[in-house]
Amino acid sequence: MIDNKMSQNVEILLVEDNPGDIRLIVEVLKEGKIHNNLSVVEDGEEALAYLRREGSYRDAIVPDIILLDLNLPKINGTEVLAEIKKDPLLKYIPVIILTTSEAEQDILRAYDLHANCYINKPVNLEQFLTVVRSIENFWLTIVKLPRR
């Protein structure tokens, strides 16, 4: 049995603009085995402000992991990923791309920018819930995350 629970909460930043997807992810993570604090921002501009602790986010806690959609308003997810990975203070945060895009160029671009994994959001509700639970089981239970 693997027991890799962290002594502190896992800080998760969800960057997602779809209210339905936000609701589902929040519910699954709330039911989860790992204590987590989930912060949600709904566009790329807000995500970068959060990560850089600017404006109303000056007291934000640097996340342990980021769930990032690609199709975002203002600044798209690919641009957010590029900014994260070129920042010496943020580049070690694992970024999980969670998107509806199945385009090969999006997949290649995400990995070229050092995304840690690329997951397609299923349209089917049960499959979507399974994907989010799988993310939790793997990334929050098995993977050793870098310390903040």
For 63-90, the pLDDT digits (tens) are: 999 999 999 999 999 999 999 999 999 9
Who's near 53: CB < 8 A, 6+ residues apart? 59, 60, 62
As given in the structure block, the two tokens for residue 1 are 């049995």
- DSSP strands (E only) in 42-145: 65-68, 95-99, 117-120
Report residue 25: phi and psi, to 5°.
-65, -45
Grade residue 61 by pLDDT with cuts at 50, 70 and 90.
very high
Grade residue 1 by pLDDT with cuts at 50, 70 and 90.
very low
Q: What is the pTM of this model?
A: 0.89
For 101-129, the pLDDT digits (tens) are: 999 999 999 999 999 999 999 888 889 88
For 3-32, the pLDDT digits (tens) are: 444 446 889 999 999 999 999 899 888 887
Q: Are 66 and 13 in contact (CB under 8 A)?
A: yes
Give me the pLDDT at residue 27, please: 87
Closest CA to 64 of 16, 12, 136: 12
Give me the pLDDT at residue 148, please: 65
For residues 52-56, give the mean pLDDT: 95
As given in the structure block, the two tokens for residue 113 are 């920018």
Per-state percent for the chain, helix, strand, coil, to nearest 5: 40, 15, 40
Rounded CA-CA distance 39/109 in Å is 26
Largest pairwise CA distance in the chain: 44
For residues 123-148, give the mean pLDDT: 85
Instruction: Examine the pLDDT at 2 and tell me if it is beyond 70.
Output: no
